[in-house]
Amino acid sequence: MPAPFTIIDHPLIQHKLTIMRDKQTSTASFRRLLREISLLLCYEVTRDLTLTTKRIETPMQKMDAPTLEGKKLVFASILRAGNGLLEGMLDLVPAARVAHIGLYRDHDTLEPVEYYFKAPEKLEDRLVIVVDPMLATSNSATAAIEKLKERGAKQIRFLCLLAAPEGVKKFRASQPDVPIYTAALDECLNEKGYIMPGLGDAGDRMYGTK
C-alpha cells in the first residue's frame, strides 16, 4: 500500500490559496501569502513528529518536559519555487537543516535537469521534508527524492501547495514510500505541463519574472 496522500483542507489555507490563484494578486501579496500558508502547511506536516522528554527546571520546580526526539529535521527545497515554501517553514522550525536541489524543467521534454545539489550530512538519521509548491508531472519531485535517497535519506515526506492527479499517480508509482501533503488536488495538467486551474508558474508569480 502506498504512503498516505493528504489534502490539508484547513479553512485559512483554502482562503489564502484562493487569493494566490487569482491572477490579479500582486507579486508582493503572492509571496506574503505563500509564506503564511507554508507556516500552516508545516504545522500539519510535522503534526506526528515523535516527542521525548527532557529534564528542565521551571521557576517553580523540576519537570520532564516534551521535546522533539532525534536529529534536526531537513527541509529540502527544489529550486527555485521551493524557496517560497522553505522560508515560512524555517520561521516555524528555525533549527531545521536545509538542502537545496537545483532542477529546471526542460521546456520541450518537461524532464528535470539538475544544476545544483547541496544537502546536510547524516541524511539517513533525519526526517527530510521535500518542498515544491507544484506537483505537476512529478518529474522534478521524483528526481529530487531519488537523489536524496542515493545520499542516504530513508524517511522522506513531500509537501506541495497544488497537485495534479497525473503527477500524484506517477509519484506514488515511483515513490510509494513517500507520503504526499498538499493544500489542493486540481483537475489536470494541460499540454504544456501546467496545473489546471492552478495558479500559473509559481516561480514567476513569486519573483515577478513574467
Query: Does residue number 136 form part of the binding site for ligand URA (CB under 6 A)?
Result: yes
Q: Answer whether 159's CB lies under 8 Å from 88's CB.
A: no
Cβ 135 to ligand URA shortest distance, Å = 8
Residues in 91-120 that interact with ligand URA by CB under 6 A: none
Single-letter amino acid code for the residue at 127: L
Indicate the residue among 125 and 201 with the shorter CB distance to ligand URA.
201
Least distance (Å) between residue 15 CB and ligand URA? 21
Which cell numbers hold the place of 133?
Answer: 509548491
CA torsion 134-136-142-147 (nearest 10°) is: -40
Q: Does 144 sit near ligand URA (CB under 6 A)?
A: no
Q: How far is CA 155 from the centre of its chain?
A: 14
Residue 195 makes contact with ligand URA by CB under 6 A: yes
Return the residue of 74, 86, 134, 183 that touches ligand URA, per CB under 6 A.
134
Q: Which stretch binds ligand URA (CB under 6 A): 12-20, 30-38, 122-130, 191-199?
A: 191-199
Q: Which of 106, 109, 177, 209 is catalytic?
A: 109
Task: With both helix axes pointing from N to C terminus, report the angle between 82-92 and 27-45 in degrees, rounded to the nearest 10.
Answer: 60
Q: Among residue numbers 46 through 85, which ones bind ligand URA (CB under 6 A)?
A: 81
Q: Minimum distance from CB of 195 to ligand URA (Å)?
A: 4
Pairing of β 5-7 and β 51-57: unpaired
What are the distances in angstroms from CA 150 to CA 67, 119, 153?
A: 30, 12, 7
109 catalytic residue (yes or no):
yes
**Quick check: 201 binds ligand URA (CB under 6 A)?**
yes
Q: Which of 105, 125, 151, 172 is catalytic?
A: 105
- Determine, following the binding rule CB under 6 A, whether residue 42 of this chain makes contact with ligand URA: no
Q: Identify the H or E element spanning 105.
A: strand 97-105
182 and 7 Cβ atoms separated by less than 8 Å: yes
Q: Which residue has the cell 522553505?
A: 86
Sign of the Cα torsion 7, 12, 18, 23 reads negative
44 lines the binding site for ligand URA (CB under 6 A): no
Residues annotated as catalytic (active site), given as ranges: 105, 109, 201, 204
In the complex, which residues of this chain contact ligand URA (CB under 6 A)? Answer: 81, 134, 136, 194-195, 198, 201-203
